[in-house]
Structure 1
Amino acid sequence: MSFAPLAALLADPTRAAFCTALLDGRAWTAGELARQAGVAPSTASEHLSRLIAGGLLVEERQGRHRYVRLAGPTVATLIEDLAGFAASTEGGGPPAPRSLREATRQSAEARARTCYDHLAGRLGVAVTDALLDHGLLTDDAGLAVTERGRAWLAAQAIELPERPGRRSGRPLVRSCLDWTERRSHLGGALGAALCRTALDRAWVERIGSGRALRVTADGDRALRELLGVRL
């Protein structure tokens, strides 16, 4: 099957900006995405219709409002991998900030952010390194959870799906190239479970409406005690 139509969908800067914004894992309205990308609402609507038709986005309607989100984890993985590949090439990486507000946002996202439904940025990489250093993960023959890791997860009441890839096509663990750190952070079902735990237990909190996260005092203490992570 040719991937040219898919590549054409993502080749447009506005559509690429929409997909990148939706990596926060939440649903956005067309108006919010239009403001994010700096385009007219009519232009946004046209681009969104193409992304939905191409299977990259799905829409939900609530009354007069139209919400869109990424079609699933596999699409999020594709977008993040493309961003990581672009960052690894000469001249890649995020564009130079055009304002103090944009510079502040980029700095916050580099420290800690969501990558769809798992942790990214320096926080995500630090947690992944700690899991490997403590023998909770192994990368000897591809990334995998060790028996010690399963026991640690059970002790922390972090539940894993029994067969994550059987229905969703999503692996339990996968390495995801972090486009700001140029190193890998943890994705897959385990990455999602850790991010959900961090949010539910208020170890991290969202900054505004974007992808950036802030580590709370409780989170700083928990990360140090459980994994030896110091940020």
Structure 2
Amino acid sequence: GRRGQGVAQSAEIEASASSRRAEADALYKALRKRSAARLWREEVPAFEGMGLEEREAHAPLVRALGVKASSRGEDERARAAGWMERLLEDPSERIRRYAIAALPKLGGGEAAEEALLALLERTESARERKHLLAALDKVGGAATLAAAADAAAAEGFDLQGARARAAREAEPSGVVLKRAVPRLEGLRVHLRCRAGLEGLLAEEVESRAGDLFRVVRVRRGGLVAAARRAWRLEEAYRLRRFDTL
């Protein structure tokens, strides 16, 4: 009867979806084995020349390149972030969703925040809106609070990370930020960040504040550092990839 046909159709749809997921996982694993240079040289141009349906089937390339670039140098991350920002205008929601997920891992920045906010303003997809708000909470600041507060409240997001960054941008307690913290033996500074960004935070500390802090231990959700000299809070807050100190 009709009920039996409905059950059969549901089973067929689920089997098809499961098959597509398996194919996507296999493609992602294959692409992860290739070098970033090869992905840029061969896969990205081929991807951009595909039709929409074929591009959707190759969407794991976006994820693979984002993961590859997130652990590389600043120039490589910036190149990948620029590509992800352009992909936010892709007609495929699936491809846009991969790009949304990649941007926070690539360090965010004003350009990424602006592109994410532009997509948030025009999207009609509730699912995509949730992904955008989650990404904006990781990379956004005052601009996100001004443009996305109502949307976040409607979805139950409190934008805690964006509020913390906005507070640092405003520096409301400038006098305290300039107060010197003496170098004390055994004193440890805990820099906290979003899970998954620990490596980027450690790299930023070493490259931008190596004279200030020595990384003692990297752990989930942040790192522990020791001061090399007396320091001021405003020096620590120049680092961009941690949420709380």
Would the TM-score normalized by the shorter structure come out above 0.5? no
Which of the pair has more CA radius of gyration? 2
TM-score (norm 2): 0.24
Return the structure number with greater helix share: 2
Return the structure number with greater strand share: 1
TM-score (norm 1): 0.25
